[in-house]
Amino acid sequence: MFQLRDYQLKLVEEGERSMMAGEVPCLVSSTGSGKTVILAELARRALTRGELVVVICHRIEILTQIVASLQKHLGQQEVIAIIQAGSRPRLDRRVTVGMVPTMCRRLPVLAAFVGCTLLADECHHSLSTTWTNTIAALSPKRMIGLTATPVRPDGKGLGDTGLFHRLILGPEPAALMAIGALARYRMFARSE
């Protein structure tokens, strides 16, 4: 099980409070700040409340990282179903992690998850057609998004979409470096 840092725990608590109040919050935290750890704790809390948990993401590398974090935080006794290309997952698991492109091709199957608690990693993708169709098919009772980039490619913020009700901001990278949560860096550029 992970020991969350203070700023991670604060994001979990603010996000959960917002979600339980009926909002769809978006947690914004820098790359490397531990969003997957935050996601794992949100899943643990939802399971404690007896909820079915679905985590969505868009890349196999992220799916692999999420599953490993969930297994570490929830313990090996929690069997996690995985929906990805070529898989035939059991739909009776309490936790399912799925790739949005695959889930979108299996929309009728997602009826098994209606009313779930949905944790959307890299949620800045949430307005793409595959994501909106997947989220609609899941019809979650509760939802929370996580991202490091709350601005979409069209320049609009996630708060402008109508999907998210509240952005909850984590500490800036400089603050994380100051407390030793992120490695300091120096940037070098070649001049011509």
In the prediction, which pLDDT does 174 show? 80
In the prediction, which pLDDT does 158 show? 74
Bin 115: left if φ > 0, else alpha if -120 < ψ < 50, else beta.
left
pLDDT digits (tens, 9 = 90+) for 21-74: 999 999 999 888 889 999 999 999 999 999 999 999 999 999 999 999 999 999
Total-model pTM: 0.91
In the prediction, which pLDDT does 42 show? 98
In the prediction, which pLDDT does 190 show? 82
179/177 Cα distance (integer angstroms): 5
In the prediction, which pLDDT does 69 show? 94
pLDDT digits (tens, 9 = 90+) for 129-182: 999 999 999 999 999 999 998 877 777 777 777 789 999 998 887 888 888 787
In the prediction, which pLDDT does 20 show? 97
Provide the H-helix boundaries in the chain. 6-20, 35-48, 60-74, 100-105, 129-138, 173-178
In the prediction, which pLDDT does 171 show? 86
The answer to whether 53 and 22 are in contact (CB under 8 A) is no
In the prediction, which pLDDT does 52 show? 97
User: In the sheet that 142-147 helps form, which strands lie side by side, from edge to edge?
Assistant: 80-83, 95-99, 53-57, 117-121, 142-147, 25-28, 166-169
Query: 77: pLDDT confidence band, cut at 50, 70 and 90?
Result: confident
In the prediction, which pLDDT does 32 show? 85
